Structure 1
Amino acid sequence: MQCLCIGVNDCAESVKRYITNELKKLNKLNNNCSVKDSVDLDGSTSVICTINQDEKNTPEYDQLILSISNGLADYIIEEYEEKLILRIINSNYCYFNSIEKKEILRLALFIIRNSDKNFLNSIFQIRRRNIIIRKLVDYFESSDKVILDGFVNFRLKDYMKDLEEVVDKAVDDFLTEREYKEFICLLRYFVDIQEPKFNVIHVLVSYDNKYILLDENKKEITNECIQEFMNDIPEGEINYDDLLVSSLITMAPKKVIVHSASSFRNKELLETIKNVFWGKAIICPECELCLVKVARSENKS
């Protein structure tokens, strides 16, 4: 009979739950392995995994150790990861204030919990978990007792390095987002200090992904709005997204109505228009202009 002792402080029930969930997948609980908590004489709490094997070097024993390590890895990720990320932020980026650190933590957790569900993040998540499992399995080859806090703090350097990379990415995202917000505030200021040249400007997408501007009477004013910018830009270097934003800022309309928003290839452009013209921009759900645009597009195709 083999015993593994896992020092867990005050979280014995949670650790037991993670381990037993893994053992149940193998149908090994009770018959081949039992899990219980124990309080030592010094008051410390441990989880004791008793394995009904006389020898360690058997495939079945290795499978049980792997399952226990899987359970512990899931527990570490769930219960330690956020605390470790916050520790890295406080250590490596101490110059940010508490509000900024909280936002960086939010961004890091968004990245690490695979919130956008992309393939690379899924691979990264699997890698982190496998690092912990491998370290635990290696550790149990030479020791029957592990103190979980000490293991996390001193044995998971590769895992901590991965978390540091996540925090670095979160900081980059935070700074980029902050710069974007500052830029939007500046553009919003330019709009606010100008006298509106139009009450309403309607924005539509043309067939070649340029933009058509109409006034409140639905008269086209595209050339009137963009001509001064077109004269200063070489033909091959025209960015029509930037041209649209610059034109709208210069015209400073009291209201901007965007039609057929689904036709916009650059969805960030829509967010920029909404942010710059905060409270003034409307995304039209559907109207005659939207329908005419769709009908003409279908006829063209």
Structure 2
Amino acid sequence: MELIFTSIKDAIRLKIYLSANGIKEKLNESQGQFNYTFDVHSEKKDRYVKSLIHFIKEVKRNEWLNNTLLQTYHYENEDERSQIIDIASQMFSGVRSDLTDLVEKENEDLLLDQAVRDLLNFEGTVSFHSFSRFRLKPYYEQVGKYLEVAIDEYKMEQEYQMFVHTLRDYLSNRNTRKNTIHLNIENSIRFFDENVQEIASQDLKEMIDQRLLANHPIYVDSAVIAPLLSIAPEKIYLYTFDDDQALVRTLCNIFEERISIATPAHFKVLKEAYTNKP
């Protein structure tokens, strides 16, 4: 079968994937079009399939995502498009399973394998553009579902970054009410002062700047972030066994160099030391 390209760039990029799979087919040119002639009845057929699948996944998919973001969603900023494509790519690679779980999933490799084998089984000449437009339509519909989730995730990440930036500004202009806070978040949220004496919940509530809760009702929780921002300590010692949880990441993003993380075992030793202090 003969596969025709109108773009020399695409034809050459496919050649890279063919060569990587040990295929040395010659690229021919005729009347401004570029074509490969594939011997699909040879032992090389599976390598043709593998080469074309890699070409679609690693080149054409990102190209489609970029064009759709620009033309359909009107993301004119290249950096924004790049960040969204990165999120979508992580979804396809399985890194962002939290996001792929939001989509009705189909096996990407299976979709492409079926489409590419149908292409190679055709006895004649096929334009890669026509193949992409018609035979790959179900595949790109699936890509589009991933893209919608990636856009929503990007917007949420942008809102989160703006939220963090706003709270950093608030913190930089806030007077420190206690120099040091020890915060143990295992099992329950407990605040301690520089002498490792627990701060009563009522005292914490009275320290909270109510403007934080009024201006950021969704993101600023009254249990941890609001008290810490209101106190604005120079140093925070955070005790947890799980330093990858969302709350810990957010606190580190807001308080940056002010915060240090240790285990509850360290806190226990420290607490005993202060309790037994003469």
Give me the TM-score of the superposition, normalised by structure 1: 0.70
Aligned equivalent of 2:3: 6
The answer to whether the Cα contact below 8 Å between 1:214 and 1:220 also exists between their aligned partners in 2 is yes
Q: Please state if 1:88 is matched with 2:68.
A: yes
Displacement after TM superposition at 1:125 (Å): 8.1
1:17 paired with 2:22, answer: no
Match of 2:259 among 268, 281, 284: 281
How far residue 79 of structure 1 moved from its aligned partner, in angstroms, is: 2.2
Q: Which runs of 4+ in 1 moved over 6 A?
A: 123-126
The offset of 1:170, in angstroms, is 0.9
> Which of 232, 235, 238 is residue 258 of structure 1 equivalent to?
238
Match among 80, 86, 102 for residue 100 of structure 1 = 80
Instruction: State the AA in 2 paired with 1:101.
Output: R
Distance of aligned partners of 1:124 and 1:140 in 2 relative to their CA distance in 1, 3 Å threshold: farther
Instruction: Report the CA distance between 1:5 and its aligned residue.
Output: 1.7
**Secondary structure of 2:252's match?**
helix
Give percent identity, aligned residues only: 19
SS of aligned partner of 2:197: coil
Matched, 1:202 2:191: no
Give per-residue Cα distances to partners, 1:165-187, cap 9 Å, x unaligned.
11111110011111112222232
Q: Residue 46 of structure 1: which of 24, 35, 41 is its match?
A: 35
User: CA offsets per residue over residues 107-128 of structure 1, 9 Å max, x none?
Assistant: 122222222467967x988722
Q: Residue 218 of structure 1 aligns with which residue?
A: 196
Gaps of 5+ in 2: 6-10, 211-220, 272-278
Q: Taking structure 1 as reference, are residues 145 and 167 closer, same or farther at Cα in structure 2, changes over 3 Å only? A: same
Look up the equivalent residue of 1:262 and give its one-letter code: F
Q: Which amino acid aligns with 1:7?
A: I
Q: Structure 1 residues 245, 257: closer, same or farther in 2, change over 3 A? A: same
What runs of 5+ residues in structure 1 fail to find an aligned partner? 22-34, 54-62, 233-240, 294-301
How far is 1:210 from its partner? 1.4
Shift of the 66–144 alpha-carbon distance from structure 1 to 2, 3 Å rule, reads farther
Partner Cα distance (1:100, 1:289) in 2: 43
Letter in 2 for 1:129: D
Counterpart CA distance in 2 for 1:190 and 1:212 is 23
Q: 1:166 to 1:147 in 2, by over 3 A?
A: same
Task: Note the aligned Cα RMSD (angstroms).
Answer: 3.6
- In structure 2, how many angstroms separate the alpha carbons of the residues matched to 1:41 and 1:205? 70
SS in 2 for 1:37: coil
Q: Contact 2:205–2:227 (CA<8 Å) still a contact in 1?
A: no
Change (3 A) 1:225 1:151: farther
Tell which deviates more after alignment, 85-94 or 104-113.
Answer: 104-113
> Which amino acid is the alignment partner of residue 276 of structure 1?
I
Q: What amino acid does structure 1 have at the position aligned with 2:171?
A: V
Q: CA deviation at 1:64?
A: 7.0
Match of 1:169 in 2: 149
Q: Is this contact kept in 1: 2:189–2:224, CA < 8 A?
A: yes
CA contact (8 A) 1:39 1:45 kept: yes
Report the CA distance between 1:197 and its aligned residue: 0.6
Cross-structure match for 1:110: 90
Query: Would you say how many aligned residue pairs link Structure 1 and Structure 2?
Result: 255
Between structure 1 and structure 2, the one with the greater Rg is 1
Residue 296 (structure 1) aligns with: none
Give the residue type in structure 1 aligned to 2:251: I
Choose which of 248, 258, 272 in structure 1 pairs with 2:250: 272
| Equivalent pair of 1:225/1:247 in contact (CA under 8 Å) | no
